[in-house]
Amino acid sequence: MGAKANIVIDQGADFSTEITVTDVNGTVVDLSGYTARGQLRKHYTSSTSTDFTITFGSPRTDGKVTLALSNVQTANIAAGRYVYDAEIVSASSIVSRLVEGIATITPEVTR
């Protein structure tokens, strides 16, 4: 099970957050050969979603993963409460959830 983390995203602004992936012993995980995916949805069963851009640290051995949304993406998300998660996929197709939680989109005033 992934970590639980609630996030706040400002509508109309760039957003990013960095995660360091560690194993049960607290050792940084080498993410060479991994891919990642993550989405934001109004509710778990919603048919529409916004994909996070996910990048890995350089070198990948540092265990760092960054989730990001552009200001264009966040401007097109209505203010409110959402759910999100992010997963990594190993070279052998094993899926692990990194993080999940509630994302609150705060309304933009300046447009």
- Is the model's pLDDT at 75 over the cut of 90? yes
Mean pLDDT estimate for the chain = 95
Q: Is the dihedral of CA 25, 28, 31, 35 positive or negative?
A: positive
Distance in angstroms (rounded) separating the CA atoms of residues 105 and 83: 11
**Residue 111: which pLDDT band, with cuts at 50, 70 and 90?**
confident
**Residue 50: which pLDDT band, with cuts at 50, 70 and 90?**
very high
**Residue 1: which pLDDT band, with cuts at 50, 70 and 90?**
low
Contacts of 105 (CB under 8 A, 6+ apart): 9, 10, 11, 74, 77, 78, 79, 80, 81, 82
- Is the model's pLDDT at 97 over the cut of 90? yes
Q: Would you state the pLDDT for residue 53?
A: 98
Domain boundaries, given as residue ranges, for the chain: 3-92
- CATH number for the domain running over 3-92: 2.60.40.10
pLDDT digits (tens, 9 = 90+) for 20-34: 999 889 999 999 999
